[in-house]
Amino acid sequence: MKRILTVQDISCVGRCSLTVALPIISAAGVEAGVLPTAVLSTHTMFPKFTFCDLTDEIEGISNTFCDLDIDFDAVYTGYLGSFRQLGLVSDLIDRHNSDKCMVVIDPAMADNGKLYPAFTPEFASAMAGLCGKADLIIPNLTEACFMLGIPYNEDYDESYIRDVLKRLTSLGARSAALTGISFDPTKLGCYAYDSVSDTYFSYFNEKLPVAYHGTGDIFASSTVGAMMRGHSIESALKVAVDFTLECIKLTMADENRRTYGVNFEQALPYYINRLENYD
């Protein structure tokens, strides 16, 4: 059985970061170790939230993992809240990074052309430095543009996306997958590039006329779970596109929906089933 470590905050309510990563990775049949970087009442898109920073805990936890020879098949990082955290997580990645441990970074910090509250363009360039250490990075286009220091433009074509992907891997990551890409108003999916084989991959499914918070975390977590179950990056990205769509459909169908994130819980049986099919 594989074991991963996921490093991100715990937002008590709001279905994002650890409250999404932990159940999805567990459902994949993969042990999910966690390193919580902060505890928030709710994520930062709520009008009000508390924030308890756990940065001071990171080094001690990481040292203890090393002292106990605890190893991981993947380190997967999500929302990180400060420059100091980026440095500590970078050290943690250096400790575990090997042929046997895959490093996946979701630079969760922006969407729809805007940085989340509390982030700055300087933070985005520091995150770009961390992304250089990854085997796979999974940004949306907004995050990619902030990391590359280029303007965000919703009006793009395939050659622009290919160029952004090449620039992203030139930060140092082996592969990059851009989420939320659409060239056709009825289709949404992801576009990826592997710098070692110099190959592109894309996969699209239905685009629905809604946007829910937290889908980036669902996408990244389900990709990591699938890769740990032996799916290739391409196959894992397909699973993630389809699973995220399934979550959105179930949320739309829920008349008693209570607005926070998507109903990924109801789509877990779909995910578990899909993991059995290797494309």
Question: Contact positions toward ligand PXL, by CB under 6 A?
Answer: 9, 11, 16-17, 40, 43-45, 79, 108, 116, 214, 216-217
Residue with Cβ nearer ligand PXL (106 or 194): 106
Residue 22 Cβ vs ligand PXL, minimum distance, rounded to whole Å: 13
Residue 233 Cβ vs ligand PXL, minimum distance, rounded to whole Å: 22
Residue with Cβ nearer ligand PXL (78 or 189): 78
Instruction: Find tokens 């779970």 and name the residue.
Output: 225
Do 218 and 198 touch, CB atoms closer than 8 A? Answer: no
Residue with Cβ nearer ligand PXL (189 or 261): 261
Do 278 and 233 touch, CB atoms closer than 8 A? Answer: no
Residue 106 Cβ vs ligand PXL, minimum distance, rounded to whole Å: 8
Residue 45 Cβ vs ligand PXL, minimum distance, rounded to whole Å: 5
Residue 64 Cβ vs ligand PXL, minimum distance, rounded to whole Å: 25
Question: Residue 190 forms beta bridges with which residues?
Answer: 203
Residue 1 Cβ vs ligand PXL, minimum distance, rounded to whole Å: 27
Residue with Cβ nearer ligand PXL (169 or 251): 251
Residue 62: burial class (beta carbons within 10 Å; 0-12, 13-18, 19+) = buried
Residue 19: burial class (beta carbons within 10 Å; 0-12, 13-18, 19+) = buried
- State the helix-helix crossing angle for 264-274 and 215-228, rounded to 10 degrees: 30
Rounded to whole angstroms, the Cα distance separating 8 from 6 reads 6
Instruction: Find tokens 């509250």 and name the residue.
Output: 117
Residue with Cβ nearer ligand PXL (118 or 150): 118
Residue 213 Cβ vs ligand PXL, minimum distance, rounded to whole Å: 6
> CA angle, 178 as apex, 175 and 182 as ends, to 5°?
145
Residue with Cβ nearer ligand PXL (73 or 248): 248
Rounded to whole angstroms, the Cα distance separating 173 from 130 reads 9
Instruction: Find tokens 């966690």 and name the residue.
Output: 34
Residue with Cβ nearer ligand PXL (9 or 73): 9
Instruction: Find tokens 């059995």 and name the residue.
Output: 276
